[in-house]
Structure 1
Amino acid sequence: MTRTPNRSVERAFRLVDELAENGGGGVSELADRLDMPVSTVHDYLQALVATGYVTMENKEYQTTTRFLEVGHRHRHRLEVFKAVRDELEDVAEETGEHATLLIEEDDQAVILAVQEGPDAVNLFAYPGARMPLHATAPGKAMLAHMPAERVDEIIDRHGLVAVTSQTITDSDVLFEQLESIRQAGYAVDEGERIAGMVCIAAPILDKSDQVRGSICVCGPQSRINETRRNEIADVVKRAANVTQVNLDYV
Protein backbone atom coordinates (compact mmCIF):
# COMPACT_ATOMS: atom_id res chain seq x y z
CA MET A 1 0.00 0.00 0.00
CA THR A 2 1.35 3.42 -0.95
CA ARG A 3 1.57 5.75 2.03
CA THR A 4 0.63 9.40 1.77
CA PRO A 5 3.74 11.48 2.55
CA ASN A 6 3.67 13.57 5.71
CA ARG A 7 2.59 17.01 4.55
CA SER A 8 4.96 18.88 6.85
CA VAL A 9 7.98 16.84 5.78
CA GLU A 10 7.00 17.23 2.13
CA ARG A 11 6.72 21.01 2.48
CA ALA A 12 10.02 21.26 4.33
CA PHE A 13 11.83 19.44 1.54
CA ARG A 14 10.10 21.55 -1.11
CA LEU A 15 11.57 24.53 0.70
CA VAL A 16 15.02 22.92 0.86
CA ASP A 17 14.88 22.10 -2.87
CA GLU A 18 13.91 25.67 -3.68
CA LEU A 19 16.79 27.05 -1.62
CA ALA A 20 19.22 24.68 -3.32
CA GLU A 21 17.92 25.32 -6.83
CA ASN A 22 17.88 29.11 -6.68
CA GLY A 23 20.61 29.95 -4.21
CA GLY A 24 18.42 31.03 -1.32
CA GLY A 25 15.98 33.84 -0.69
CA GLY A 26 13.95 35.78 1.83
CA VAL A 27 10.78 34.60 3.55
CA SER A 28 8.30 36.53 1.40
CA GLU A 29 10.16 35.72 -1.81
CA LEU A 30 10.22 32.01 -0.99
CA ALA A 31 6.54 32.06 -0.01
CA ASP A 32 5.67 33.58 -3.40
CA ARG A 33 7.80 31.09 -5.33
CA LEU A 34 6.32 28.12 -3.50
CA ASP A 35 2.77 29.49 -3.21
CA MET A 36 2.82 28.92 0.54
CA PRO A 37 1.75 31.22 3.41
CA VAL A 38 4.51 33.50 4.68
CA SER A 39 3.95 32.34 8.26
CA THR A 40 4.31 28.68 7.23
CA VAL A 41 7.53 29.34 5.33
CA HIS A 42 8.91 31.30 8.28
CA ASP A 43 8.17 28.46 10.71
CA TYR A 44 9.80 25.85 8.48
CA LEU A 45 12.86 28.03 7.95
CA GLN A 46 13.30 28.53 11.68
CA ALA A 47 13.11 24.78 12.25
CA LEU A 48 15.64 24.13 9.48
CA VAL A 49 18.00 26.77 10.86
CA ALA A 50 17.77 25.07 14.27
CA THR A 51 18.86 21.75 12.72
CA GLY A 52 21.87 23.36 11.05
CA TYR A 53 20.76 22.49 7.52
CA VAL A 54 19.79 26.08 6.67
CA THR A 55 21.45 29.33 7.63
CA MET A 56 20.21 32.92 7.64
CA GLU A 57 22.24 36.06 7.01
CA ASN A 58 20.88 39.54 6.27
CA LYS A 59 17.37 38.03 6.16
CA GLU A 60 18.43 35.68 3.33
CA TYR A 61 18.19 31.94 3.86
CA GLN A 62 20.51 29.37 2.29
CA THR A 63 21.24 25.68 2.64
CA THR A 64 24.42 24.73 4.48
CA THR A 65 27.17 22.22 3.81
CA ARG A 66 25.46 19.75 6.17
CA PHE A 67 23.80 18.27 3.08
CA LEU A 68 27.23 17.79 1.53
CA GLU A 69 28.33 15.95 4.66
CA VAL A 70 25.31 13.61 4.52
CA GLY A 71 25.83 12.88 0.82
CA HIS A 72 29.56 12.35 1.27
CA ARG A 73 29.02 9.81 4.05
CA HIS A 74 26.40 7.95 2.03
CA ARG A 75 28.63 7.85 -1.06
CA HIS A 76 31.51 6.32 0.87
CA ARG A 77 29.23 3.55 2.12
CA LEU A 78 28.35 2.45 -1.43
CA GLU A 79 30.27 -0.62 -2.56
CA VAL A 80 30.50 0.52 -6.18
CA PHE A 81 32.17 3.77 -5.12
CA LYS A 82 34.76 1.84 -3.12
CA ALA A 83 35.26 -0.61 -5.99
CA VAL A 84 36.10 2.10 -8.53
CA ARG A 85 39.24 2.97 -6.54
CA ASP A 86 41.73 4.50 -8.98
CA GLU A 87 39.91 3.42 -12.15
CA LEU A 88 38.04 6.68 -12.76
CA GLU A 89 41.20 8.74 -12.46
CA ASP A 90 42.96 6.38 -14.89
CA VAL A 91 40.07 6.67 -17.38
CA ALA A 92 40.21 10.47 -17.29
CA GLU A 93 43.97 10.49 -17.71
CA GLU A 94 43.98 7.95 -20.55
CA THR A 95 41.16 9.55 -22.55
CA GLY A 96 41.96 13.15 -21.62
CA GLU A 97 38.24 13.75 -21.22
CA HIS A 98 35.59 14.09 -18.58
CA ALA A 99 35.00 10.78 -16.70
CA THR A 100 32.14 10.04 -14.31
CA LEU A 101 30.75 7.24 -12.19
CA LEU A 102 26.96 7.07 -12.06
CA ILE A 103 24.38 4.89 -10.38
CA GLU A 104 20.61 4.51 -10.77
CA GLU A 105 18.56 5.90 -7.91
CA ASP A 106 14.82 6.59 -7.89
CA ASP A 107 14.61 5.97 -11.66
CA GLN A 108 17.31 8.55 -12.43
CA ALA A 109 21.00 8.49 -13.26
CA VAL A 110 22.98 10.09 -10.42
CA ILE A 111 26.63 11.15 -10.56
CA LEU A 112 28.71 9.69 -7.72
CA ALA A 113 32.19 10.80 -8.75
CA VAL A 114 33.86 13.03 -11.34
CA GLN A 115 37.39 13.13 -12.75
CA GLU A 116 38.60 15.60 -15.38
CA GLY A 117 41.30 14.65 -17.87
CA PRO A 118 43.82 17.19 -19.20
CA ASP A 119 41.60 18.12 -22.19
CA ALA A 120 38.22 17.96 -20.43
CA VAL A 121 35.67 20.66 -21.13
CA ASN A 122 33.69 22.19 -18.26
CA LEU A 123 30.39 20.31 -18.06
CA PHE A 124 29.36 21.60 -14.62
CA ALA A 125 29.01 17.97 -13.53
CA TYR A 126 29.13 17.31 -9.80
CA PRO A 127 28.37 14.45 -7.39
CA GLY A 128 24.64 14.30 -6.75
CA ALA A 129 23.60 15.70 -10.14
CA ARG A 130 20.59 13.81 -11.53
CA MET A 131 19.48 13.19 -15.10
CA PRO A 132 16.97 11.05 -17.02
CA LEU A 133 18.16 7.52 -17.68
CA HIS A 134 16.95 7.43 -21.29
CA ALA A 135 18.78 10.63 -22.29
CA THR A 136 22.30 9.65 -21.26
CA ALA A 137 24.85 7.03 -22.27
CA PRO A 138 25.37 5.81 -18.67
CA GLY A 139 21.62 5.74 -18.12
CA LYS A 140 21.05 3.67 -21.24
CA ALA A 141 23.93 1.36 -20.31
CA MET A 142 22.17 0.67 -17.00
CA LEU A 143 18.70 0.37 -18.54
CA ALA A 144 20.05 -2.21 -21.00
CA HIS A 145 20.81 -4.55 -18.09
CA MET A 146 17.54 -4.11 -16.22
CA PRO A 147 14.54 -6.43 -16.73
CA ALA A 148 12.23 -5.17 -19.50
CA GLU A 149 9.41 -4.89 -16.97
CA ARG A 150 11.46 -2.49 -14.87
CA VAL A 151 12.27 -0.37 -17.92
CA ASP A 152 8.57 -0.26 -18.80
CA GLU A 153 7.75 0.89 -15.27
CA ILE A 154 10.29 3.70 -15.47
CA ILE A 155 8.92 4.85 -18.82
CA ASP A 156 5.33 4.69 -17.51
CA ARG A 157 6.23 6.80 -14.46
CA HIS A 158 8.42 9.41 -16.11
CA GLY A 159 7.87 9.21 -19.86
CA LEU A 160 10.63 9.84 -22.39
CA VAL A 161 11.12 13.58 -22.08
CA ALA A 162 13.09 15.33 -24.82
CA VAL A 163 16.08 16.96 -23.14
CA THR A 164 17.51 18.00 -26.54
CA SER A 165 16.37 17.49 -30.13
CA GLN A 166 18.45 14.29 -30.21
CA THR A 167 16.89 12.61 -27.17
CA ILE A 168 15.12 9.31 -27.79
CA THR A 169 11.40 9.82 -27.18
CA ASP A 170 10.02 6.64 -28.80
CA SER A 171 9.97 3.54 -26.55
CA ASP A 172 10.34 1.15 -29.51
CA VAL A 173 13.49 2.96 -30.63
CA LEU A 174 14.80 2.93 -27.07
CA PHE A 175 14.27 -0.83 -26.65
CA GLU A 176 15.99 -1.49 -29.98
CA GLN A 177 18.96 0.56 -28.84
CA LEU A 178 19.08 -1.20 -25.46
CA GLU A 179 19.38 -4.54 -27.25
CA SER A 180 22.31 -3.18 -29.30
CA ILE A 181 23.93 -1.87 -26.12
CA ARG A 182 23.74 -5.29 -24.47
CA GLN A 183 25.46 -6.84 -27.47
CA ALA A 184 28.15 -4.15 -27.80
CA GLY A 185 28.85 -3.81 -24.08
CA TYR A 186 28.65 -0.02 -24.12
CA ALA A 187 26.25 2.85 -24.84
CA VAL A 188 26.62 6.12 -26.74
CA ASP A 189 24.67 9.34 -26.68
CA GLU A 190 25.33 12.00 -29.28
CA GLY A 191 23.96 15.26 -27.99
CA GLU A 192 20.99 13.52 -26.36
CA ARG A 193 21.46 15.37 -23.07
CA ILE A 194 24.07 18.02 -23.88
CA ALA A 195 24.12 19.42 -27.41
CA GLY A 196 27.50 19.05 -29.10
CA MET A 197 28.78 16.37 -26.71
CA VAL A 198 29.38 12.66 -27.24
CA CYS A 199 29.21 10.40 -24.18
CA ILE A 200 30.29 6.75 -24.11
CA ALA A 201 29.51 4.52 -21.13
CA ALA A 202 29.87 0.91 -19.99
CA PRO A 203 27.72 -0.75 -17.33
CA ILE A 204 29.16 -2.05 -14.08
CA LEU A 205 27.69 -5.45 -13.24
CA ASP A 206 28.25 -7.59 -10.18
CA LYS A 207 28.86 -11.34 -10.11
CA SER A 208 25.10 -11.90 -10.25
CA ASP A 209 24.87 -9.73 -13.39
CA GLN A 210 22.94 -7.07 -11.48
CA VAL A 211 23.67 -3.56 -12.72
CA ARG A 212 25.47 -1.50 -10.07
CA GLY A 213 26.40 1.61 -12.01
CA SER A 214 28.14 2.90 -15.10
CA ILE A 215 31.45 4.52 -16.05
CA CYS A 216 31.15 7.27 -18.64
CA VAL A 217 33.45 9.48 -20.72
CA CYS A 218 32.17 12.66 -22.40
CA GLY A 219 33.86 14.97 -24.90
CA PRO A 220 33.04 17.37 -27.75
CA GLN A 221 31.71 15.81 -30.95
CA SER A 222 34.39 17.69 -32.90
CA ARG A 223 37.18 15.52 -31.48
CA ILE A 224 35.45 12.18 -30.97
CA ASN A 225 35.35 10.55 -34.40
CA GLU A 226 34.55 6.86 -34.98
CA THR A 227 38.11 5.70 -34.29
CA ARG A 228 38.31 7.74 -31.10
CA ARG A 229 34.88 6.50 -30.05
CA ASN A 230 36.00 2.88 -30.34
CA GLU A 231 39.14 3.64 -28.32
CA ILE A 232 37.11 5.27 -25.55
CA ALA A 233 34.61 2.40 -25.59
CA ASP A 234 37.47 -0.04 -24.96
CA VAL A 235 38.71 2.09 -22.06
CA VAL A 236 35.34 2.35 -20.30
CA LYS A 237 34.57 -1.35 -20.82
CA ARG A 238 37.93 -2.28 -19.32
CA ALA A 239 37.41 0.04 -16.36
CA ALA A 240 33.91 -1.33 -15.78
CA ASN A 241 35.28 -4.86 -15.85
CA VAL A 242 38.01 -4.05 -13.30
CA THR A 243 35.38 -2.40 -11.10
CA GLN A 244 33.21 -5.51 -11.39
CA VAL A 245 36.13 -7.63 -10.18
CA ASN A 246 36.80 -5.19 -7.35
CA LEU A 247 33.18 -5.47 -6.23
CA ASP A 248 33.85 -9.07 -5.25
CA TYR A 249 36.52 -7.89 -2.78
CA VAL A 250 34.99 -4.75 -1.32
Structure 2
Amino acid sequence: MTETPNRSIERAFIIIDELTESGGAGVSEMAERVDLPVSTVHDYLQALVMTGYVKKEDTSYQITTRFLEVGNRHRHRLEIFKAANDELETVATESGEHATLFVAENDEAVILAVQEGPDAINLFAYPGARMPLHATAPGKAMLAQMSSEQVESIIDRRGLAAVTSKTVTDPDRLFEQLETVEQQGYSIDEGERIAGMVCIAAPVMDKSDRVRGAICVCGPQSRLDDERQQEIADLVKRAANVTQVNLDYV
Protein backbone atom coordinates (compact mmCIF):
# COMPACT_ATOMS: atom_id res chain seq x y z
CA MET A 1 0.00 0.00 0.00
CA THR A 2 1.29 3.42 -0.96
CA GLU A 3 1.74 5.75 2.00
CA THR A 4 0.18 9.16 2.08
CA PRO A 5 2.68 12.07 2.30
CA ASN A 6 1.50 12.92 5.80
CA ARG A 7 2.00 9.36 7.01
CA SER A 8 5.45 9.21 5.45
CA ILE A 9 6.52 12.44 7.15
CA GLU A 10 5.14 11.25 10.48
CA ARG A 11 7.07 7.98 10.25
CA ALA A 12 10.27 9.75 9.27
CA PHE A 13 10.11 11.93 12.38
CA ILE A 14 9.26 8.95 14.59
CA ILE A 15 12.46 7.33 13.34
CA ILE A 16 14.41 10.56 13.95
CA ASP A 17 13.06 10.77 17.50
CA GLU A 18 14.05 7.16 18.16
CA LEU A 19 17.53 7.74 16.78
CA THR A 20 17.85 10.75 19.08
CA GLU A 21 16.65 8.78 22.10
CA SER A 22 18.89 5.78 21.45
CA GLY A 23 21.98 7.69 20.34
CA GLY A 24 22.11 5.58 17.19
CA ALA A 25 20.89 2.20 16.01
CA GLY A 26 21.08 -0.33 13.22
CA VAL A 27 18.25 -1.05 10.81
CA SER A 28 16.95 -4.15 12.61
CA GLU A 29 16.99 -2.48 16.03
CA MET A 30 15.24 0.59 14.67
CA ALA A 31 12.63 -1.57 12.92
CA GLU A 32 11.87 -3.23 16.24
CA ARG A 33 11.67 0.11 18.01
CA VAL A 34 9.19 1.64 15.58
CA ASP A 35 7.36 -1.60 14.77
CA LEU A 36 7.89 -1.41 11.01
CA PRO A 37 9.36 -3.87 8.51
CA VAL A 38 13.14 -3.83 8.20
CA SER A 39 12.92 -2.99 4.49
CA THR A 40 10.67 -0.01 5.17
CA VAL A 41 12.95 1.37 7.88
CA HIS A 42 15.98 0.86 5.64
CA ASP A 43 14.34 2.97 2.92
CA TYR A 44 13.52 5.74 5.38
CA LEU A 45 17.05 5.77 6.79
CA GLN A 46 18.61 5.89 3.35
CA ALA A 47 16.41 8.84 2.42
CA LEU A 48 17.31 10.64 5.66
CA VAL A 49 21.02 10.06 5.00
CA MET A 50 20.59 11.71 1.59
CA THR A 51 19.11 14.81 3.26
CA GLY A 52 22.14 15.16 5.55
CA TYR A 53 20.07 14.90 8.73
CA VAL A 54 21.18 11.32 9.42
CA LYS A 55 24.55 9.67 8.93
CA LYS A 56 25.68 6.06 8.84
CA GLU A 57 28.75 4.86 10.73
CA ASP A 58 29.51 1.20 10.11
CA THR A 59 26.08 -0.40 10.67
CA SER A 60 24.71 2.31 12.96
CA TYR A 61 22.60 5.26 11.91
CA GLN A 62 22.81 8.51 13.89
CA ILE A 63 21.36 11.99 13.61
CA THR A 64 23.74 14.76 12.56
CA THR A 65 24.42 18.28 13.77
CA ARG A 66 22.27 19.56 10.89
CA PHE A 67 19.40 19.80 13.37
CA LEU A 68 21.59 22.00 15.57
CA GLU A 69 22.22 24.30 12.64
CA VAL A 70 18.50 24.63 11.87
CA GLY A 71 17.56 25.17 15.52
CA ASN A 72 20.21 27.81 16.06
CA ARG A 73 19.24 29.71 12.93
CA HIS A 74 15.65 29.80 14.10
CA ARG A 75 16.61 30.77 17.65
CA HIS A 76 18.72 33.72 16.53
CA ARG A 77 15.80 35.05 14.51
CA LEU A 78 13.50 35.15 17.54
CA GLU A 79 13.05 38.63 18.96
CA ILE A 80 12.85 37.44 22.55
CA PHE A 81 16.18 35.62 22.27
CA LYS A 82 17.92 38.80 21.17
CA ALA A 83 16.04 40.93 23.71
CA ALA A 84 16.85 38.70 26.68
CA ASN A 85 20.42 37.69 25.85
CA ASP A 86 22.29 40.26 27.97
CA GLU A 87 19.76 40.12 30.80
CA LEU A 88 20.05 36.36 31.11
CA GLU A 89 23.79 36.63 31.58
CA THR A 90 23.27 39.30 34.25
CA VAL A 91 20.73 37.12 36.06
CA ALA A 92 23.12 34.17 36.10
CA THR A 93 25.98 36.29 37.40
CA GLU A 94 23.97 38.05 40.11
CA SER A 95 22.12 34.96 41.31
CA GLY A 96 25.13 32.67 40.99
CA GLU A 97 22.69 29.99 39.82
CA HIS A 98 21.32 28.44 36.67
CA ALA A 99 19.40 30.97 34.51
CA THR A 100 17.21 30.03 31.56
CA LEU A 101 14.98 31.68 28.99
CA PHE A 102 11.82 29.76 28.11
CA VAL A 103 9.12 30.08 25.49
CA ALA A 104 5.81 28.22 25.15
CA GLU A 105 5.55 26.11 22.02
CA ASN A 106 3.04 23.39 21.13
CA ASP A 107 1.70 23.33 24.69
CA GLU A 108 5.16 22.80 26.20
CA ALA A 109 7.78 24.91 27.93
CA VAL A 110 10.91 25.01 25.79
CA ILE A 111 14.37 26.21 26.82
CA LEU A 112 15.61 28.84 24.42
CA ALA A 113 18.84 29.86 26.17
CA VAL A 114 20.91 28.85 29.19
CA GLN A 115 23.45 30.72 31.31
CA GLU A 116 25.28 29.28 34.32
CA GLY A 117 26.30 31.40 37.28
CA PRO A 118 29.48 30.75 39.29
CA ASP A 119 27.69 28.51 41.81
CA ALA A 120 25.35 26.74 39.39
CA ILE A 121 25.04 23.01 39.78
CA ASN A 122 25.28 20.79 36.74
CA LEU A 123 21.74 20.47 35.40
CA PHE A 124 20.97 18.59 32.20
CA ALA A 125 19.44 21.67 30.62
CA TYR A 126 20.06 22.70 27.04
CA PRO A 127 18.38 24.83 24.36
CA GLY A 128 15.52 22.91 22.84
CA ALA A 129 14.72 20.84 25.94
CA ARG A 130 10.96 20.51 26.37
CA MET A 131 8.91 20.01 29.51
CA PRO A 132 5.30 20.25 30.73
CA LEU A 133 4.04 23.77 31.30
CA HIS A 134 2.20 22.85 34.50
CA ALA A 135 5.25 21.26 36.16
CA THR A 136 7.70 24.13 35.81
CA ALA A 137 8.02 27.65 37.21
CA PRO A 138 8.49 29.24 33.77
CA GLY A 139 5.60 27.19 32.40
CA LYS A 140 3.27 28.40 35.15
CA ALA A 141 4.53 31.97 34.74
CA MET A 142 3.41 31.81 31.11
CA LEU A 143 0.17 29.93 31.81
CA ALA A 144 -0.82 32.61 34.33
CA GLN A 145 -0.87 35.18 31.53
CA MET A 146 -3.20 33.11 29.34
CA SER A 147 -6.98 33.05 29.49
CA SER A 148 -8.76 30.32 31.43
CA GLU A 149 -10.02 28.92 28.13
CA GLN A 150 -6.49 28.66 26.77
CA VAL A 151 -5.25 26.90 29.90
CA GLU A 152 -8.20 24.50 29.90
CA SER A 153 -7.53 23.64 26.26
CA ILE A 154 -3.88 22.86 27.06
CA ILE A 155 -4.97 20.64 29.96
CA ASP A 156 -7.42 18.83 27.67
CA ARG A 157 -4.70 18.18 25.11
CA ARG A 158 -1.76 17.47 27.41
CA GLY A 159 -3.20 16.46 30.76
CA LEU A 160 -1.49 17.13 34.09
CA ALA A 161 0.95 14.28 34.44
CA ALA A 162 3.02 13.94 37.61
CA VAL A 163 6.71 14.52 36.94
CA THR A 164 7.61 14.23 40.64
CA SER A 165 5.55 13.59 43.77
CA LYS A 166 5.18 17.38 44.15
CA THR A 167 3.83 18.12 40.68
CA VAL A 168 0.39 19.73 40.70
CA THR A 169 -1.99 17.34 38.96
CA ASP A 170 -5.35 18.77 40.09
CA PRO A 171 -6.79 21.41 37.71
CA ASP A 172 -8.47 23.39 40.50
CA ARG A 173 -5.24 23.64 42.45
CA LEU A 174 -3.35 24.64 39.32
CA PHE A 175 -5.79 27.47 38.61
CA GLU A 176 -5.42 28.66 42.22
CA GLN A 177 -1.65 28.76 41.77
CA LEU A 178 -1.95 30.60 38.48
CA GLU A 179 -4.10 33.26 40.11
CA THR A 180 -1.42 33.80 42.76
CA VAL A 181 1.29 33.90 40.10
CA GLU A 182 -0.58 36.57 38.15
CA GLN A 183 -1.02 38.70 41.28
CA GLN A 184 2.58 38.52 42.48
CA GLY A 185 4.25 38.55 39.07
CA TYR A 186 6.36 35.41 39.47
CA SER A 187 6.01 31.68 40.00
CA ILE A 188 7.82 29.17 42.18
CA ASP A 189 8.37 25.48 41.52
CA GLU A 190 9.67 23.63 44.58
CA GLY A 191 10.63 20.18 43.42
CA GLU A 192 7.74 19.87 40.98
CA ARG A 193 9.98 18.94 38.06
CA ILE A 194 13.32 18.16 39.70
CA ALA A 195 13.36 16.86 43.26
CA GLY A 196 15.40 19.06 45.60
CA MET A 197 15.46 22.03 43.22
CA VAL A 198 13.69 25.37 43.51
CA CYS A 199 12.93 27.33 40.34
CA ILE A 200 11.59 30.90 40.23
CA ALA A 201 10.36 32.52 37.03
CA ALA A 202 8.79 35.73 35.77
CA PRO A 203 6.85 36.13 32.53
CA VAL A 204 8.10 38.33 29.72
CA MET A 205 5.26 40.41 28.27
CA ASP A 206 5.15 42.79 25.33
CA LYS A 207 3.39 46.12 24.84
CA SER A 208 0.31 44.28 23.55
CA ASP A 209 0.11 42.48 26.92
CA ARG A 210 0.96 39.20 25.23
CA VAL A 211 3.20 36.69 26.99
CA ARG A 212 6.36 36.05 24.99
CA GLY A 213 8.34 33.86 27.34
CA ALA A 214 9.74 33.58 30.86
CA ILE A 215 13.06 34.07 32.62
CA CYS A 216 13.88 31.49 35.27
CA VAL A 217 16.48 30.83 37.97
CA CYS A 218 16.98 27.35 39.47
CA GLY A 219 19.06 26.30 42.44
CA PRO A 220 19.20 23.66 45.17
CA GLN A 221 16.59 23.98 47.89
CA SER A 222 19.33 24.17 50.54
CA ARG A 223 20.53 27.49 49.09
CA LEU A 224 17.17 29.03 48.24
CA ASP A 225 15.45 29.71 51.55
CA ASP A 226 12.48 32.12 51.80
CA GLU A 227 14.63 35.25 51.93
CA ARG A 228 16.77 34.13 49.02
CA GLN A 229 13.68 33.17 47.03
CA GLN A 230 12.35 36.70 47.31
CA GLU A 231 15.67 38.11 46.15
CA ILE A 232 15.61 35.81 43.12
CA ALA A 233 11.97 36.70 42.43
CA ASP A 234 12.86 40.41 42.36
CA LEU A 235 15.81 39.65 40.08
CA VAL A 236 13.83 37.68 37.48
CA LYS A 237 10.99 40.22 37.54
CA ARG A 238 13.48 43.01 36.84
CA ALA A 239 15.08 41.01 34.05
CA ALA A 240 11.69 40.25 32.52
CA ASN A 241 10.82 43.95 32.60
CA VAL A 242 14.07 44.96 30.90
CA THR A 243 13.54 42.25 28.30
CA GLN A 244 10.05 43.63 27.64
CA VAL A 245 11.50 47.10 27.09
CA ASN A 246 14.06 45.62 24.71
CA LEU A 247 11.31 43.81 22.83
CA ASP A 248 9.13 46.85 22.48
CA TYR A 249 11.48 49.76 22.01
CA VAL A 250 14.96 48.66 21.00
Q: Does 1:247 align with 2:241?
A: no
Letter in 2 for 1:32: E
Q: Which secondary structure does the structure 2 equivalent of 1:46 belong to?
A: helix
- Counterpart of 1:225 in structure 2 is 225
CA distance in 1, matches of 2:176, 2:226: 21
TM-score normalised over the length of structure 1: 0.97
Letter in 1 for 2:179: E
Number of residue pairs matched by the alignment: 247
Q: Which secondary structure does the structure 2 equivalent of 1:209 belong to?
A: coil
Superposed CA deviations along residues 85-130 of structure 1, whole A, max 9, x for unmatched, are 3100000000000000000000000000000000001111000000
Structure 1 residue 21 displacement after superposition: 1.2
Determine what percentage of the aligned residue pairs are the same residue.
76
Letter in 1 for 2:189: D
Q: Which secondary structure does the structure 2 equivalent of 1:217 belong to?
A: strand
- Counterpart of 1:201 in structure 2 is 201
- Counterpart of 1:142 in structure 2 is 142
Q: CA RMSD in A?
A: 0.9
| Structure 2 unaligned regions, length at least 5 | none
Letter in 2 for 1:159: G
User: After the TM superposition, which segments of 4 or more aligned residues of structure 1 sit over 4 Å from their partners?
Assistant: none
Superposed CA deviations along residues 154-202 of structure 1, whole A, max 9, x for unmatched, are 0001110000000000000000000000010000000000000000000
- Within a 5 Å distance, the mapping from 1:1-150 to structure 2 comes to 6-150=6-150
| Structure 1 unaligned regions, length at least 5 | none
CA distance in 1, matches of 2:203, 2:248: 16
TM-score normalised over the length of structure 2: 0.97
Structure 1 residue 5 displacement after superposition: 7.4
- Counterpart of 1:175 in structure 2 is 175
CA distance in 1, matches of 2:232, 2:5: 44
CA distance in 2, matches of 1:57, 1:159: 39
